[in-house]
Structure 1
Amino acid sequence: MKELLKQARENKHLKTREVAQLLGIDQALISKFESGNRKPTREQVTKLASILEIDYETLMVAWLKEKILYEIGDDTNLGIKAMKVAESEMRYEVAVKRHNLSASLTAILNEIDSLKKILDQKRAFDSFRIAQALELEYTFESNRIEGNTLTLRETDLVINEGLTVSGKSMREHLEAINHQEAIGYIKQLMERGFSFNERELLSIHNLILRGIIPEDAGRYRRVQVMIKGSSHMPPQPNLVAKEMDGYFLWYESQKSKLHPVVLAAEMHERLVTIHPFIDGNGRTSRLVMNLILLQNGYVIANIKGDYDNRMNYYNALESAQTKSNKEDFLLFIAQIEKESLERYLSIIGT
């Protein structure tokens, strides 16, 4: 583990002092981690994985291995027997946790996985023009959810023709342009294999609000907000940074455990519940969700902005935020992804 930490830090051209500042600990501890004289806590391992952009699973396995070997010491034979018993019990626990998903959600996820297998065999039929058209629809629908009145055709004219639509506000024009650029940005992240972290989130949000509220673009809110039409009260502004630390820690610990569609839906719901920005939370949350889906080989889950779909979306979110019941929201997102996969396959011809 010590080699992993030192090599990753040097690859990022960071000093031990800089890593210590980001981690909020004494510089001497970083040197001890790298020399093997001190072991980081589980929480510190999670933060180090994010800061140094080390694969969380790789680093956690190395950390757990060293803890196990330390505890076993010279009792090698007993240690091997104990690990065999532990392996059996852990496999049972994993099986139990998987069955915590409802029958309805499990059924949709199985359908999604079947559709993805078909899609994986049809990748040769992918087309830039098809992707461009679907991304345009996504920009149109995501903005429509938030009250943008540009039609699909007008959105196309603004983005692809550079035209100004009479009777539409400058903000609506910028929302279309900015969202399309944000889609391009998450596709770049996906293609480069970048790990999702705070820097990337703030960059996505910066694109969404660029030229609209420039002083708040890419920055956490500094005032209390209320969500129109919702009884959910987001955390106080002085708690936002802490909540976001927890958000990224949760992601690092769960990204290799959860089904990608469940992970994407959870990251969407958790972000919009914290509501870390003064504006643009919905669009940013949906972009984060779709970044995770694209990284895992799925297609963009495009939530429609018409009244019925918008109300179903808001009601499912409200249930997750105020009743601690995420089932409706997970089912809603899974159904949207299933329909998006079916449509994509029908377009490319299967």
Structure 2
Amino acid sequence: MQANDEIEDGQTPLDPDEAHGLIPNWVATRGDLNEVENENINLAYAWADNALRRREEVASDQFLRGLHTAMFGLVWTWAGTYRNTERNIGVAPHQISTQLRQLFDDTHAWREFNTYAMDEQAYRLHHRLTAIHPFPNGNGRSSRLMADYYLTQNGAAPFTWGVRRIQPNHVRRTYLEAIREADSGNYAPLAGFVRG
């Protein structure tokens, strides 16, 4: 076996905790996991498009759980289920449902009273979802897709998430820096990133 600094990107083996609840039994590395998750995520677009056609409210518990299940249901047994363990990020597990209900109430008020421009509503929705961190994994990806569908439902174009302006190998780092700034109340970097 190679030393950790010699393992190629994506070839890092999954440890037993990381593999808990994994459905495909052949997945052994981070690269394998990324591959199966990306395949499953691609299927989620059809689910979300159908939900919009049914006029399902995007800023809702039902849509969030359904979206997460559509994105990860072929990969993880716990897809669409809120976490019940503490993490170093996110609210305590017993606060998840309450925090989400407050977020969705706030989102509906932002829209009803035109509190923020539509882009700001969507990136604030995204940021609060990542701060709550309701699922064991996939929170950033599901909250980005949810923000895009929130925009679509309200007649706006989805975000570009930095891909037009930022070099591909810097996108994740720039995104995480923007999220940290939003955590401290400065939304300007996130506002620039989502349409960058």
Matched, 1:191 2:49: no
Q: Who is 1:292 aligned against?
A: 150
Matched, 1:324 2:182: no
RMSD, aligned CA: 2.3
Query: Alignment partner for residue 245 of structure 1, among 101, 104, 114?
Result: 101
Q: Is the 8 A contact 2:151 2:157 kept in 1?
A: yes
Q: Is the 8 A contact 2:10 2:30 kept in 1?
A: no
Q: Who is 2:36 aligned against?
A: 174
Distance, in Å, in 2 between the alignment partners of 1:313 and 1:263 is 18
Q: Who is 2:20 aligned against?
A: none
Q: Who is 2:117 aligned against?
A: 259
Matches within 5 A, 1:94-105: none
Q: Is the 8 A contact 2:40 2:75 kept in 1?
A: no
**SS of the residue 2:80 aligns to:** coil
Deviation at 1:274, TM superposition (A): 0.7
Deviations 1:28-76, CA, capped at 9 Å, x for gaps: xxxxxxxxxxxxxxxxxxxxxxxxxxxxxxxxxxxxxxxxxxxxxxxxx
Give the letter aligned to residue 93 of structure 2.
P
* Unmatched segments (≥5 aa) in structure 1: 1-146, 150-166, 227-232, 337-350
Matches within 5 A, 1:274-313: 274-303=132-161, 304=163, 306-313=168-175
Matched, 1:210 2:68: no
Give the TM-score taking structure 2 as reference length: 0.74
Greater per-residue helix proportion:
1
Deviation at 1:331, TM superposition (A): 2.8
Alignment coverage as a number of residue pairs? 164
Deviation at 1:174, TM superposition (A): 2.2
Give the letter aligned to residue 289 of structure 1.
A
Greater CA radius of gyration, 1 or 2? 1
Deviations 1:259-282, CA, capped at 9 Å, x for gaps: 221111111111011111100101
Deviation at 1:172, TM superposition (A): 2.9
Q: Is the 8 A contact 1:313 1:332 kept in 2?
A: yes
Q: Is the 8 A contact 2:84 2:94 kept in 1?
A: yes
Q: Is the 8 A contact 1:190 1:295 kept in 2?
A: yes
Deviation at 1:168, TM superposition (A): 8.6
Give the letter aligned to residue 295 of structure 1.
Q
Q: Where in structure 1 do 4 or more consecutive aligned residues deviate above 3 Å?
A: 167-170
Structure 1 vs Structure 2: percent identity of aligned residues? 23
Distance, in Å, in 2 between the alignment partners of 1:170 and 1:211 is 14
